[in-house]
């Protein structure tokens, strides 16, 4: 192992000076991501020499709303939230990647400053222009109810005043997520203990005193939306491969567990959009179901890809999804209520690259899947071998920007799916 490491270091050292300018050009290509739909249009983030938040209006006009360079030196914008109409924008940023940052809220059209909060803030849910919920993460100091950090608490903010409304007594290392249902009638809360278990609470969005436990405890569960008098839940109990439940007066299974791992899911009006990892070739694909659990369609990307659902509820009868692959950095698609798929924005495709896959045997005979990415028609003499197995992270296709010049120069990138990821579920 040490000898192979030394060989690799020598190869990289020889390339260092020649690769720098090529890497710089690649990293300066804008990356567009985190798209969210509103009645106004499509909000997004982009990253190049700085971080930006912008909007693509429904007539096609594009406008920058915030840039990190305007906020100061070494500022990183990490996340943002919008109200359902797209009138208000809340963005969270920190300086130099610090743990504690600042949330700023502005009017989208005028750019007028509306409000600001310091701290580790997430889970913004707008009620109106003057009132909103937020979750505050306490990293080192105790929570307001005296629980030792780390811990989360939910607050309502109105006209600059804050009141804690949820989380009292929730223990150390439990983390809270908050969102509203797509019809804005219900609050959906998830209280998670690491990556081990979670408990779902819900109630009237405008009345926090009604928020109560409805499901969960021993496994991981994720609330998606509130539809037809039940909370749609993504559940990882049983064999840990994922299924969809309707939790109401009774618990009803909508989509049962399959032999493939369900990595994500969303509600699109009266349909379920689910993401599965292919059990043989380890790319992600979409399956469409009605709310009775009948499969009504599917979508397989043209190139082996990973699929990221930005927001697991539809807005304006559409759902936005990002694809990334070994050949393309990003491709943002829109799925409409009739399940038609169209492209909103995409980066260039490396059409001179090709992807192969296969299996190797581990020392104990276990089959280990791998991808090979190389230039078409070449038989590479050198490879860069990469693998990771742990924390339930699946190595589905990704755009390894650092490998592009190496592949261009005739090397091959080999990505292995080691044990410890979620390619085949928890078990």
pLDDT in tens, 343-352: 999 999 999 9
How far is C-alpha 100 from the geometric centre of its chain's CA atoms? 21
Is the pLDDT score of 271 beyond 90? yes
Looking at residue 15, its pLDDT comes to 67
Is the pLDDT score of 190 beyond 80? yes
Is the pLDDT score of 7 beyond 80? no
Looking at residue 424, its pLDDT comes to 76
Portions of the chain given CATH number 2.130.10.120? 30-346
| Percentage, residues of the chain above pLDDT 70 | 98
Looking at residue 14, its pLDDT comes to 66
The residues, ordered by sequence, that sit 6+ positions from 181 with a Cβ below 8 Å of its Cβ are 187, 188, 205, 225, 226, 227, 313
Beta strands in 217-349 (DSSP E): 220-227, 230-236, 243-247, 251-255, 261-268, 271-277, 284-290, 295-299, 305-309, 318-325, 331-336, 341-346
Is the pLDDT score of 224 beyond 70? yes
- Tokens read off for 17: 């000076």
Looking at residue 426, its pLDDT comes to 66
**Cβ-contact 265, 233 below 8 angstroms:** no
As to burial, measured by CB atoms within 10 angstroms (0-12 exposed, 13-18 middle, 19+ buried), residue 128 is exposed
Closest to 403 measured CA to CA, from 12, 76, 132: 12
Is the pLDDT score of 369 beyond 90? yes
CA distance 409 to 248: 57
Indicate yes or no: pTM above 0.85. yes
The chain-wide mean pLDDT, for the chain, equals 94
Looking at residue 3, its pLDDT comes to 81
Give the residue carrying structure tokens 């690769």: 19
| Percentage, residues of the chain above pLDDT 90 | 85
Distances (CA, A) of 363 to 181, 360, 366, 368, 387: 49, 10, 7, 10, 16
Is the pLDDT score of 307 beyond 70? yes
CA distance 380 to 363: 25
Mean pLDDT of 362-386: 93
The pLDDT confidence band at residue 232, using thresholds 50, 70 and 90, is very high
Mean pLDDT of 108-137: 97
As to burial, measured by CB atoms within 10 angstroms (0-12 exposed, 13-18 middle, 19+ buried), residue 183 is exposed
Written in H, E and C, the secondary structure of 170-211 is: CCCCEEEEEEECCCCCEEEEEEEECCCEEEEEEEECCCHHHC
Lowest average pLDDT, out of 112-121, 302-311, 382-391, goes to 382-391
Is the pLDDT score of 95 beyond 90? yes
Is the pLDDT score of 11 beyond 90? no
- Tokens read off for 9: 């270091």
In angstroms and rounded to an integer, the radius of gyration of the C-alpha atoms of the chain is: 23
Question: In this structure, which long-range contacts are made by residues 210-217, counting pairs with CB atoms below 8 Å and at least 24 apart in sequence?
Answer: 211/166, 211/187, 214/247, 215/245, 215/247, 215/251, 216/190
Partner residues linked to 82 by β-bridges: 89
Strand order, beta sheet including 161-166? 75-82, 88-95, 101-107, 113-126, 131-138, 151-158, 161-166
Q: Is 218 helix (H, G, I), strand (E, B) or coil?
A: coil
Lowest average pLDDT, out of 85-99, 110-124, 315-329, 377-391, goes to 377-391
Is the pLDDT score of 38 beyond 70? yes
The pLDDT confidence band at residue 193, using thresholds 50, 70 and 90, is very high
CA distance 20 to 47: 19
CA distance 380 to 378: 6
The pLDDT confidence band at residue 208, using thresholds 50, 70 and 90, is very high
Is the pLDDT score of 388 beyond 90? no
Looking at residue 1, its pLDDT comes to 64
Is the pLDDT score of 257 beyond 90? yes
Is the pLDDT score of 427 beyond 90? no
CA distance 352 to 24: 21
Write out the CATH class of domain 30-346: mainly beta
């Amino acid at each position: 192992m040490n000898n192979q490491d030394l060989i690799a270091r020598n190869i990289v050292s020889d390339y260092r000076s020649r690769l720098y300018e090529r890497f710089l050009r690649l990293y300066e290509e804008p990356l567009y991501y985190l798209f969210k739909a509103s009645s106004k249009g499509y909000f997004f983030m982009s990253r190049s020499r700085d971080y930006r938040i912008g909007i693509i209006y429904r007539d096609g006009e594009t406008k920058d709303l915030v840039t990190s360079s305007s906020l100061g030196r070494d500022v990183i914008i990490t996340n943002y939230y919008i109200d359902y109409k797209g009138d208000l924008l809340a963005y969270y940023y920190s300086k130099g990647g610090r743990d504690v940052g600042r949330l700023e809220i502005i009017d989208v059209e005028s750019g007028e400053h509306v409000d600001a909060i310091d701290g580790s803030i997430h889970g913004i849910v707008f009620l109106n222009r003057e009132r909103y919920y937020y979750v505050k993460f306490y990293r080192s100091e105790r929570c307001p109810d005296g629980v030792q950090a780390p811990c989360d608490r939910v607050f309502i903010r109105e006209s600059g005043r804050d009141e804690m409304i949820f989380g009292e007594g929730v223990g150390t290392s439990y983390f809270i997520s908050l969102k509203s249902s797509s019809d804005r009638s219900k609050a959906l809360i998830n209280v998670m203990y690491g990556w081990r278990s979670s408990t779902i609470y819900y109630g009237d969005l405008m009345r926090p005193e009604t928020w109560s436990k409805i499901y969960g405890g021993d496994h991981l569960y994720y609330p998606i939306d509130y539809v037809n008098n039940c909370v749609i839940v993504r559940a990882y109990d049983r064999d840990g491969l994922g299924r969809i439940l309707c939790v109401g007066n009774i618990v009803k299974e909508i989509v049962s567990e399959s032999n493939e791992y369900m990595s994500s899911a969303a509600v699109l009006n009266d349909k379920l959009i689910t993401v599965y990892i292919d059990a043989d070739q380890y790319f992600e694909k979409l399956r469409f179901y009605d709310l009775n659990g009948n499969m009504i369609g599917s979508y397989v990307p043209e190139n082996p890809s990973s699929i990221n659902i930005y927001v697991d509820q539809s807005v304006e009868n559409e759902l936005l999804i990002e694809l990334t692959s070994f050949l393309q950095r990003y491709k943002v698609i829109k799925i409409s209520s009739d399940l038609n798929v169209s492209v909103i924005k995409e980066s260039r495709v490396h059409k001179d690259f090709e992807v192969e896959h296969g299996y190797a045997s581990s020392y104990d005979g276990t089959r280990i899947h791998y991808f090979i990415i190389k230039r078409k028609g070449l038989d590479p003499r050198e490879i860069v071998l990469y693998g990771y197995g742990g924390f339930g992270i699946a190595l589905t296709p990704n755009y390894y920007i650092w490998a592009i010049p190496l592949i261009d120069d005739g090397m091959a990138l080999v990505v292995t799916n080691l044990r410890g990821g979620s390619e085949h579920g928890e078990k």
